[in-house]
Amino acid sequence: MSELSAGLDIPDISDSSPGPVPVVAVVGRPNVGKSTLVNRIIGRRQAVVEDVPGVTRDRVPYDAQWNGRHFTVVDTGGWEPDARDRAAAIAAQAEIAVQTADVVVFVVDVTVGATDVDEAAVKMLRRSHKPVILVANKADNASLEMEAVSLWSLGLGEPHPISALHGRGSGDLLDDILAALPDPPPIVEGGPRGPRRVALVGRPNVGKSSLLNKLSKEERAVVDSVAGTTVDPVDSLVEMDGEVWQFVDTAGLRKRVNQASGTEYYASLRTAGAVEAAEVAVVLLDAAEVISEQDQRVLTQVVEAGRALVIAFNKWDLVDADRRIYLDKEIDRELKRIPWAIRVNISAKTGRAVDKLAPALRRSLDSWEQRVSTGALNQWLTALTQATPHPVRGGRAPRVLFATQAGVAPPRFVLFTTGPLDAGYLRFIERKLREEFGFEGSPIELSVKPRK
């Protein structure tokens, strides 16, 4: 990746739009007028080309605003499908911009019409499944405006004829861009969001209802009516460590209906439902008993759903010195695939260490929502892949060109490579990624995009 990333400062698209600010990527062949359009969108408050020393104008994010709505607009370099070297990197940048965007503005030069390159770009845009707004630029006059209808052939819906240079049609375009953006998050009175949602799961008899009872008893204030939230009647609000938490899908636990009808099938359905509704799961294991296959299945459900995870070894009051030594070995062996899970040793019966739960939940949720800047990510990745390149396979070693964090909750990373990577090498990268950036308590997803 070195030769590509060295001369290119990779955009921090993710960091330029913290929280809910939506991202609009402007994509198209070179010279169709992308920068001119970006200038138009940002109202020429910032010069795109000249005034940013040392920064090439490809893939630069700018803050923009229209009708009171803020968004980030990303100017990408010209997209060319078969480009090599630097141009290939720019094309890849455009693809990343598309992946991280909420809406893509695809610019075509109406004086030229749709070219093969435009058609290839359309394929790439289709793969992204992002909303695309087709712009027929350089429609400087009424007759050129008419030409725009020919661009229906691209299959991207109605072409928007504009003149980025003169401003013609740009207001309507901005209205349509705004309409395509995701709805702004609702403003909740009295706080940014409701309580964090927790799934309390584990095989029958590990102590779920005992723990819920214990937590509910320690609840100081009754928290039925937390302002601005609607709590499902099957959920329980519990106060821990000065914060209200929403334990989801706990009706069954309270009523203890599980025991009698508790076939494993229904237990696992209940687990799936609760995990799906939650942000973080507490998986209860019985510390006095051997970690079973059913325990493993619950853990797998949480990891595969991509939720943050805290493992609570319950019934710690029953653990003696011998069991403890044995348990350590068991943990090494049985939980090897999730070394990142946060573990707490508790007793729902005595209340031992139950106060450790809230801090553990917070830590894993922080990891779950953690973002690594593209700059820091690639700096680290360059060093790592230079020190330990991918092993040679059939005379060739695939290289990792660069990476971006495509999302959070859970953190998702995309690696752009010259070819498929060995599963072992991918695991190595994940392990090192965790060593460097943490992510304790959260699953992370790595996907590989080999360059065609």
User: DSSP assignment, residue 391?
Assistant: P
**What backbone torsions phi and psi does residue 244 show, to the nearest 5 degrees?**
-90, 130
Based on CB atoms, which residue is closest to ligand GDP, 12 or 140?
Answer: 140
Stretch that binds ligand GDP, among 17-25, 240-248, 299-307, 314-322 (CB under 6 A): 314-322
Q: Could you please report the per-residue DSSP string of 236-285? A: EEEEETTEEEEEES-HHHHHT-HHHH--HHHHHHHHHHHHHH-SEEEEEE
62: enclosing H helix or E strand: strand 60-66
Query: Where do runs of H (alpha helix) occur along 338-393?
Result: 357-368, 374-387
Determine if residue 179 is labeled as part of a ligand binding site.
Answer: no
- Under rule CB under 6 A, residue 30 binds ligand GDP: yes
Task: Report the alpha-carbon distance of residue 148 to residue 158 in Å, rounded.
Answer: 9
The verdict on 159 binding ligand GDP (CB under 6 A) reads: no
Interface with ligand GDP includes 165 (CB under 6 A)?
A: yes
Is 226 in a helix, a strand, or coil? coil
Binding window for ligand GDP (CB under 6 A); candidates: 13-21, 31-39, 264-272, 429-437? 31-39
DSSP for 174-188 reads HHHHHHHSPPPPP--
- Inter-CA distances, 162 with 42, 46, 109, Å: 16, 21, 10
Which position among 269, 290, 318, 325 is part of the footprint of ligand GDP (CB under 6 A)? 318
d(CA 383, CA 397): 17
Nearest approach in angstroms of CB 256 to ligand GDP is: 6
Nearer to ligand GDP, 285 or 377 (CB): 285
- Among the listed residues 59, 197, 208, 307, the single contact to ligand GDP using CB under 6 A: 208
Neighbouring residues of 249: CB distance < 8 A, sequence distance ≥ 6: 199, 234, 235, 270, 273, 274, 277
Q: Is 32 annotated as a binding residue?
A: yes
Regarding 436 and contact with ligand GDP (CB under 6 A), the answer is no
Q: Which is nearer to ligand GDP, 150 or 210 (by Cβ)?
A: 210
Q: Which of 25, 32, 64, 444 binds ligand GDP (CB under 6 A)?
A: 32
Binders of ligand GDP in range 49-88 (CB under 6 A):
78
Q: Does 25 bind ligand GDP (CB under 6 A)?
A: no
Q: How far apart are CA 261 and CA 238, in angstroms?
A: 26
Candidates 46, 205, 229, 418; binder of ligand GDP (CB under 6 A) is 205
Q: Smallest Cα–Cα separation from 412: which of 363, 371, 449, 366?
A: 371
Residues 6+ apart with CB under 8 A from 311: 282, 283, 285, 299, 335, 338, 341, 342, 343, 344
Q: Does 204 bind ligand GDP (CB under 6 A)?
A: yes
What does the alpha-carbon distance between residue 281 and residue 299 come to, in Å, rounded to a whole number? 9
* Total of chain residues touching ligand GDP, rule CB under 6 A: 32
Q: At its nearest, how many Å lie between ligand GDP and the CB of residue 117?
A: 12
Stretch of residues binding ligand GDP (CB under 6 A), selected from 117-125, 216-224, 295-303, 341-349:
341-349
| 345 touches ligand GDP (CB under 6 A) | no
Among 5, 250, 347, 370, binds ligand GDP (CB under 6 A): 347
The binding site for ligand GDP (CB under 6 A) comprises 28, 30-36, 78, 137-138, 140, 163-165, 202, 204-210, 253, 258, 314-315, 317-318, 347-349
Binding site as annotated, residues for GTP: 28-35, 75-79, 137-140, 202-209, 249-253, 314-317
